[in-house]
A and B are shown apart, each in its own frame.
Chain A
């Protein structure tokens, strides 16, 4: 009566406490996770996670901009000269050394697919449209801080640290690219 906190069988009581506490923690954890998971992309957002592009009407030297997961993606059909200039670069001199072959798919060297977001601070580089400046390396030019990319989307000049990101994509047929 005098002291209610004195247990008569400490071992069993501790075990019971521990079990109950652990079960409560699991319940709270699972509930908490379901709350957190609601903030992940929802089914309708995930359904738009891939984009299909019909490339049959793109002429050599032309490029199109498509939206993929809310970001611009440049799909460029390169001319033989552009491919050659991209392949002839001395890779060891590059800031982010990558060969042209690492940037395109084998047998489909004509097609360059890159995410159109400058790796410096997230601006969209110019050069996808005919009237836009392509920069001194014939690729893209970022108007924000002057980053210059070549015809393989590699960083050649300016503050950007890495090459333009190549998204996951595959050719579902000769005329359709599925990005994502």
Chain B
């Protein structure tokens, strides 16, 4: 067993426990002497920060649940009672509602760091996928938590998001009724959302455990993306990174405390303070800020997928596969390329006309002449839902979309520019998501969505084969020394 390699501890109690269950040996190994690349920058703080936020959310959430009543008639009042009457209840509530935002900020920066420094690449694919699963679980948890105060935003947000599932062909309507436990968002919905909101964080904890386990098997990436080659490249985790994480945490908590004490409602909407009224929809429904980019992608699919779009898309996909995903186009299919290009163009023109120019007065005559315009395989509503979930799920397969041998964006100038533009498109989508669905926001949102998917499906695969491979430093140590000079 592992005990064979165990070094005895001096403290008698510790030794007694450890010889029976080697938890202290494990902590010592994984967090004490764990060899960690010595060149982390502050981006590497955000994993630990996200972990702190998870613990904070669970701790404050468990206590809030002691005061909260998951009943449609009482929920709003119980939340107000927490804010007004419970000792430090206001603090607890603001901790929890702003904690969600801080958790997402930490996780978004953590994801960005992974994207920039290629932390998703071999051998960390599984680690990355666990991360995406955590992100999805967080979104589900946050969404259901938002429902619990039973405000106008809660009820209508729940209605809109659960209604997304009605887009699924055949079973959609039944599925939504099942989710609601009734014919509208009502008490049964609130009750199950509360149960799930309490359950999911513990599921997140479990996946975080896997995430950290996987990390400790393959070791951390670092800003150079070069694997540590020896002791001169690493430091023991404690005290170096425990202290650095603690320092980062103290700065992060200042921002968090500012939100809690001086701007507790900055990130929420005023309709969150109006009790839910199932008869009246508020004038302007927006999700919380952390959902906005995905909400914008959902709304950007304003068009049905007509047969023209499908055929042109299929032809385009074959071409993209050959010229972007493959290093060189497949010799066997190459003779068909001119024909494919012709198909893509011939079907592409009516597809684009139908999708984007339906409302242009001058083109109405031409568009009216297109036959089979009403035939479509995927409705706009379903298309939007697929695009929204696809935008996250595609991230999970990023390790296989990006096959460039260099990990870190530090040595990939082309990828770097494309990635910054990708982040910009996500931020832009977030801005669009908060805007009403009208021009010019729709078109801007569609272009940003196009780039979002273009980056993942075209640019990244293409760069894999075409971006020059830079000469990397021999080791982390050498890179650090070079930087200091």
Q: Which residue of A is nearest B62, CB measured? A: A35
Chain A positions within 8 Å of B66 at CB level: 38-39
Partner of A40, one of B87, B92, B232: B87
Query: Residue B88 contacts which of A5, A24, A38, A45 (CB distance < 8 angstroms)?
Result: A38
- The reply to whether B67 and A38 contact each other, CB–CB distance below 8 Å, is yes
Question: Given the complex, which residues of B lie within 8 Å of A4, measured CB to CB?
Answer: 235-236, 240
Interface residues of chain B: helix, strand, loop or mixed (majority): helix
- Residues in B with CB closer than 8 Å to A57 are none
- One of A1, A34, A42 near B81 (C-beta < 8 A): A42
Interface residues of A in 10-69 (CB under 8 A from B): 24, 34-35, 37-40, 42-45
In the assembled complex, the CB of B372 is this many whole angstroms from the nearest CB of chain A, namely: 64
Q: Is the CB of B60 within 8 A of A43?
A: no
B87 closest partner in A (C-beta): A37
A35 close to B86 (CB less than 8 A): no
B235 touches A35 (CB 8 A): no
User: Does B239 reach chain A (CB closer than 8 Å)?
Assistant: yes
Chain A: interface residue total (CB-CB under 8 A) = 14
A35 touches B63 (CB 8 A): yes
Q: Are B92 and A44 in contact (CB under 8 A)?
A: no
User: Would A38 and B63 count as touching, CB distance under 8 A?
Assistant: yes
Tell me if B91 counts as interface (CB < 8 A to partner A). Answer: yes
CB–CB A43/B239 < 8 A: no
Taking a contact as CB atoms under 8 Å apart, the answer to whether A5 and B239 are in contact is yes
Q: Which of B202-246 contact A (CB under 8 A)?
A: 232, 235-236, 239-240, 246
- Cα–Cα, bound, A34→B90 (Å): 11
A44 touches B87 (CB 8 A): no
**Given the contacts A4-B235, A4-B236, A4-B240, A43 and B85 also touching, CB distance less than 8 Å:** yes
Give every chain B residue within 8 A of A40 (Cβ-Cβ). Answer: 87
Residue of A nearest to B253 (CB): A27
CA distance A1 to B230 in the complex (A): 13
B240 touching A34, Cβ below 8 Å: no
CB distance from B233 to the nearest CB of A (A): 12
Closest Cβ–Cβ distance, residue B86 to chain A (whole Å): 4
Give how many B residues have a beta carbon under 8 Å from the other chain's beta carbons: 20
Q: Does B59 contact A (CB under 8 A)?
A: yes
Instruction: Determine which of B59, B67, B84 lies in contact with A43 in the assembled complex, contact meaning CB atoms within 8 Å.
Output: B84
Within the complex, the shortest CB–CB distance from A17 to chain B, in Å, comes to: 9
B92 touches A35 (CB 8 A): yes
Digitize B81-99: 1 where CB-to-A-CB distance is under 8 Å, 0 elsewhere.
Answer: 1001111110110000000
Residue among A24, A39, A42 with most chain B CB within 10 A: A42
- Least CB separation from A40: chain B residue: B87
Known: A43-B84, A44-B81. A38 touches B89 (CB 8 A): yes
B85 touches A42 (CB 8 A): yes
Q: Are A38 and B92 in contact (CB under 8 A)?
A: yes
Q: Identify which of residues 336-368 in chain B touch chain A, using a CB-to-CB cut-off of 8 Å.
A: none
Residue of A nearest to B64 (CB): A38
Residues of B within 8 A of A44 (CB): 81, 85
Query: A residues within 8 A CB of B84?
Result: 43
Counting chain B CB atoms within 10 Å of each CB, the highest count among A1, A39, A45 belongs to: A39
- Cα of A1 to Cα of B235 in the assembled complex, Å: 10
- Alpha-carbon separation in the docked complex, A5 to B238 (Å): 9
Q: Which residue of A is nearest B56, CB measured?
A: A31
Distance, CA A83 to CA B85, complexed state (A): 44
Q: Which residues of B contact A43 (CB under 8 A)?
A: 84-87
Q: How far is A5 from B239 in the complex, measured between Cα atoms in Å?
A: 8
Chain B residues, CB < 8 A from A24: 246
Please give the distance in Å from A125's CB to the nearest CB on chain B.
33
Task: Say how far B485's CB is from chain A's closest CB, in angstroms.
Answer: 18
Smallest CB-CB separation from A36: which chain B residue? Answer: B63
Q: Residue among B60, B84, B86 with the most chain A CB within 10 A?
A: B86
- Knowing A4-B235, A4-B236 touch, does A42 contact B86 (C-beta < 8 A)? yes
CB-nearest residue of chain B to A1: B232
Task: Find the A residue at minimum CB distance from B243.
Answer: A20
Known: A34-B91, A38-B66. 20 other contacts (CB 8 A): A4-B236, A4-B240, A5-B236, A5-B239, A34-B87, A34-B88, A34-B92, A35-B63, A37-B87, A37-B88, A38-B63, A38-B87, A38-B88, A38-B89, A42-B86, A42-B89, A43-B84, A43-B87, A44-B81, A44-B85
- Which 5 pairs show the lowest CB-CB distances between chains A and B? A43-B85, A42-B85, A42-B86, A34-B88, A44-B85
What are 8 A-to-B residue pairs whose CB atoms are below 8 Å?
A24-B246, A34-B87, A34-B91, A39-B66, A42-B81, A42-B86, A42-B89, A43-B87
